[in-house]
């Protein structure tokens, strides 16, 4: 079954009378707290960058930001927690349907590094901290990181891949890029989902408007499911396309999502870059 449009979701209306009232009593106070928190994080940067517990610091930052944004907890079942605990995989593949995904992933996998778009390192505050746990693409959605990734894997590092490359609906999986598969290693599959209103798709809605809308809500929900390590066969290790196809089928079956024939390059916002 094919999703009719994996790049379209429900838009929010921040200017509705009800939401304006919610912003006054809930959204604005949260926004002030978040701004204050970012100022504190910026001031503390020069201290924490020297700590050997930088991973725990990122995890704490992400936890606080999620709570300030109305995500009071990450909903994850006991089996998924056990799968994370028992996982031997260095590569983690996660779907990507919201800007919240990175914070959730930071909480779940504080010891992992992230493949990230180059523009993130230039963002105020976020960029300073991101350079400690991100591997930046040379340009958005492009740039060969094969050697850099292999060196990190050889050193025992864990790496998170948002293998779709571009945001889409959490009920659909786009065609996956090859970066997570070319080394022929086991993969831990993770699925993050939200209610329809909480999904943000680049090009469909303004991110600032969408985030302010989230701050107005009493609570926002994020659900996480984690499968068992996917261990490629000898044939899959030699054939990247076969590896990707079989893993995609496994992922869609495991998390009951639709398999799309579209890729991030079909995303309307891709061609605006």
- pLDDT per residue as tens digits for the range 211-264: 899 999 999 999 999 999 999 999 999 999 999 999 999 999 999 999 998 888
- Secondary structure (DSSP) of 201-249: -BTTB-HHHHHHHHHHSS---EEEEE-PPB---HHHHH-HHHHHHHHHH
What is the pLDDT confidence band of residue 115, given thresholds at 50, 70 and 90? confident
What percent of the chain shows pLDDT beyond 90?
Answer: 48
Tell which residue, 133, 141, 137, has the closest CA to residue 158: 133
- The whole-number pLDDT of residue 119 equals 60
What is the pLDDT confidence band of residue 151, given thresholds at 50, 70 and 90? confident
> Lowest-confidence range among 5-9, 15-19, 115-119?
115-119
What percent of the chain shows pLDDT beyond 70?
Answer: 81
Please state, rounded to an integer, the average pLDDT across all residues of the chain: 84
Strand 158-161 and strand 112-116: pairing? parallel
pLDDT(112) > 50: yes
User: In this structure, how many other beta carbons lie within 10 angstroms of the beta carbon of residue 100?
Assistant: 22
Dihedral of alpha carbons 227, 164, 199, 250, sign? negative
- The whole-number pLDDT of residue 272 equals 53
Domains of the chain: residue spans and CATH: 17-265 (3.40.1130)
- The whole-number pLDDT of residue 206 equals 76
- pLDDT per residue as tens digits for the range 30-68: 999 999 998 887 777 666 666 666 777 778 888 999 999
> Stretch 127-132: mean pLDDT, rounded?
60
> Lowest-confidence range among 42-46, 159-163, 184-188, 235-239?
42-46
> Lowest-confidence range among 89-103, 122-136, 171-185?
122-136
Distance CA 258, CA 74 (A): 23
> Stretch 117-130: mean pLDDT, rounded?
61
């Amino acid at each position: 079954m094919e999703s009719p449009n994996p790049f379209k979701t429900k838009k929010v209306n921040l200017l509705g009378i009800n939401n304006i009232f919610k912003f006054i009593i809930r959204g604005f106070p949260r926004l002030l707290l978040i701004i204050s928190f970012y100022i504190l994080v910026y001031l503390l940067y020069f201290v924490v960058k020297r700590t050997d517990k930088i991973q725990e610091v990122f995890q704490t930052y992400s936890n606080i930001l999620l709570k300030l944004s109305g995500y009071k907890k990450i909903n994850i079942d006991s089996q998924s927690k056990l799968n994370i605990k028992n996982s031997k995989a260095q590569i983690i593949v996660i779907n990507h349907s919201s800007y919240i995904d990175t914070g959730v992933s930071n909480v779940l996998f504080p010891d992992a590094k992230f493949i990230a778009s180059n523009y993130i390192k230039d963002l105020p505050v976020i960029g300073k901290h991101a350079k400690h746990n991100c591997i930046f693409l040379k340009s958005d959605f492009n740039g060969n990181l094969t050697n850099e990734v292999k060196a990190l894997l050889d050193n025992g590092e864990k790496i998170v891949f948002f293998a779709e490359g571009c945001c889409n609906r959490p009920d659909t999986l786009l065609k996956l890029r090859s970066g997570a598969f070319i080394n022929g290693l086991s993969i831990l599959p993770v699925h993050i989902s939200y209610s329809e209103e909480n999904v943000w798709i680049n090009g469909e809605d303004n991110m600032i408007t969408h985030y302010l809308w989230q701050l107005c809500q009493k609570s926002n929900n994020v659900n996480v499911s984690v499968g068992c390590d996917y261990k490629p066969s000898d044939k899959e290790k030699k054939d990247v396309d076969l590896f990707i196809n079989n893993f995609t089928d496994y992922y869609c079956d495991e998390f009951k999502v639709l398999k799309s024939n579209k890729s991030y390059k079909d995303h309307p916002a891709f061609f605006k870059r």
